[in-house]
Structure 1
Amino acid sequence: MGEAIVHVNGVELCAETFGDPQAPAILLIGGMASSMDWWDADFCRRLALGGRHVIRYDFRDTGRSATYPPGAPGYTGDDLIADAAGVIDLLAGGRAHVVGISMGGGIAQHLAVDHSPRVATLTLVSTSTGADDDLPPMDERLEAAFADPAAEPDWSDPAAVVEYIVEEQRLFAGPDSFDEEYVREIARQVVARTHEIESSMKNHALVKGSDGTRHRLGEVTAPTLVIHGTADPFFPPGHAVMLAREINRAQLLMLDGVGHQTPPQSTWDVVVPAILGHSAL
């Protein structure tokens, strides 16, 4: 299909597909404030070469999808879950291998328990069910950055916004897994493709979320793979261990030195075969 505007739940979403439409579908769901650009096109092509029909899409308020005023998202977390289900129906024939990272992993969990017929397998990347008391807190360095955030850029200055995104990504990455020039190039793509970058960077954090899924993890019936970085400062590895423990027969893959980030290129030789193998179930 390439990149196209599709109509889901009464809104326009931008989506792109790779590979044979008749092959088993993999839906990639991004993290908070992330357009589909963070699922690198070459990563998608590698999955497609493994015999998969790969789908990535822009959330509302990211990329070329429907946009709302900065500070005023006109949707809820439930709407974002319904959008993902709608993309599966429209582009995957009603069933897909679902891969979600961070906030996208939360959406994926809701799909697995509330829309289980749509989820062939589940892959949860750098995600959690939330900040329960028995789970490790975020890294002190990241907590300090949240307490004293960097000044906002001039949202009308693309170069300034790119640098702002790069520095934000640096905070979340593992100390040895941050490729600054690569991240800067993705950030340039994001800024160039996004209708309203200020909304994209702000609005998801303001969305009314759905209830947490921890008490429902026992309801997950889809075969589950948990992928997590050992240096994740936002959801330390204990979050991944909890998911793998509380989801029946879940498998755990830890990525040494990786932070809270889309799997970097250095991990693709491990991550791509893992997702392909898992989605062959």
Structure 2
Amino acid sequence: MDSATARNGDVEIAYEVFGTSEGSPLLLVSGMDGQMIGWPDGFCLALAAAGYQVVRYDHRDAGLSTHFTGRKRAYEVTDMLDDMLAVQDSMGWTSAHLVGLSMGGGLAQFAALLRPERVKTLTLIGAAPQYGNQLRLFRHIRFPGPFKMAFHRYGKSRDEQKRMLMDITRFSGGKSLPLEEDWIEEIAEECLRRRRPDPHSRARQLAASRAAKMPKGGIGQITQPVLAIHGDEDPIVRPSAGRAIARTVQDGTFVLVHRMGHLFSPPLWPELVDRITRHAR
């Protein structure tokens, strides 16, 4: 694995590379407020072994990338899209297969619409269809689902922040195949080492998402092949979201993965890698 930094104006975007330049370009796009290490090393290596050059990166306001301040919107979704393209440019890629998780899947949909020449295929995991109207998304959100975490209170100490990160990650897994506890703790420790949580970064990213304007015709104008993958045990987003994406885009396929949550544990990696490799050609 190699580490590097891309630049979008004054913003620095940290990224990591798995595999060689002979592999087909594949960019992993993380969810809201998630650091790139949320894509497990083993999963990235499995994709690289399947013939891809894999890149994962930290969004602005996450991990080792540039952070902003304040509680109000500090940037637009188009700025986050330009960050993604800056990583592709830094890699020397003219286009790439995009694999987006949750909010990352939403950003990938905007990339396909606004910069279609830079997107080969889309694989959207646990993602919701982008309508340009946040209220329409609520039909796909489980209740109380993610709102359970809003009632948890954590202190500012390192141990309390670690507990918070572990609780959020643990909640995002499936019940039948829960995430490995050792990995949950390891990732929490590494996230804290890289950057302590900013209580307002999620709000800034959410504000950018809420303000995003959908091009005329919406995701129905996406022409690239789209694979919508959803876990039947996703505690945050209903499978109806993936079905809606596949139904609306011009070339869409929906796959329901049994025993998978919003995040996915190692026993599911072979199925996911197989699905992605058969799709992203």
Normalization by structure 1: what TM-score? 0.89
DSSP 3-state at the match of 1:136: helix
Is 2:172–2:234's contact at 8 Å kept on the other side of the alignment?
yes
1:194-245 deviation digits (Å, cap 9, x = unpaired): 2664455554234353124794222111111111111223220111111111
Is 2:140–2:238's contact at 8 Å kept on the other side of the alignment?
yes
Amino acid at match of 1:167: D
What is the aligned partner in structure 2 of residue 252 from structure 1?
254
What is the aligned partner in structure 2 of residue 52 from structure 1?
52
1:12-36 deviation digits (Å, cap 9, x = unpaired): 1111111112321000000000110
What is the aligned partner in structure 1 of residue 186 from structure 2?
185
Is 1:97–1:122's contact at 8 Å kept on the other side of the alignment?
yes
Task: Report the Cα offset of residue 136 of structure 1.
Answer: 3.5
What is the aligned partner in structure 2 of residue 30 from structure 1?
30
What is the aligned partner in structure 1 of residue 230 from structure 2?
228
What is the aligned partner in structure 2 of residue 14 from structure 1?
14
Distance 1:133 1:73 in 2: 21
Deviates more, 1:4-13 or 1:102-111: 4-13
DSSP 3-state at the match of 1:189: helix
Amino acid at match of 1:186: I
* 1:154-173 aligned within 5 A: 154=156, 157-173=157-173
Identical counterparts, % of pairs? 27
Deviates more, 1:93-102 or 1:198-207: 198-207
DSSP 3-state at the match of 2:66: coil
1:141-171 deviation digits (Å, cap 9, x = unpaired): 326526x5211430xx332211101112233
What is the aligned partner in structure 2 of residue 265 from structure 1?
266
Is 1:191–1:197's contact at 8 Å kept on the other side of the alignment?
no
Deviates more, 1:83-92 or 1:231-240: 83-92
Amino acid at match of 2:259: G
DSSP 3-state at the match of 2:64: coil
Aligned length: 276
Is 2:142–2:236's contact at 8 Å kept on the other side of the alignment?
yes
Distance 1:112 1:83 in 2: 15
Distance 2:168 2:207 in 1: 18
What is the aligned partner in structure 2 of residue 141 from structure 1?
144
Distance 2:220 2:25 in 1: 25
Is 2:100–2:108's contact at 8 Å kept on the other side of the alignment?
yes
Is 2:129–2:219's contact at 8 Å kept on the other side of the alignment?
no
DSSP 3-state at the match of 2:97: strand
DSSP 3-state at the match of 1:71: coil
Amino acid at match of 2:229: I
- Provide the aligned C-alpha RMSD in A: 2.4
Task: Report the Cα offset of residue 247 of structure 1.
Answer: 1.3
Distance 1:95 1:168 in 2: 33
Is 2:129–2:242's contact at 8 Å kept on the other side of the alignment?
no
Amino acid at match of 1:52: Y
Deviates more, 1:67-76 or 1:249-258: 67-76
Is 2:7–2:83's contact at 8 Å kept on the other side of the alignment?
no
Distance 1:184 1:136 in 2: 33
DSSP 3-state at the match of 1:13: strand
Normalization by structure 2: what TM-score? 0.89
Query: Post-superposition, which runs of at least 4 consecutive aligned residues in structure 1 deviate over 6 A?
Result: none
DSSP 3-state at the match of 2:15: strand
What is the aligned partner in structure 2 of residue 118 from structure 1?
118
What is the aligned partner in structure 1 of residue 244 from structure 2?
242
* 1:36-115 aligned within 5 A: 36-69=36-69, 71=71, 74-115=74-115
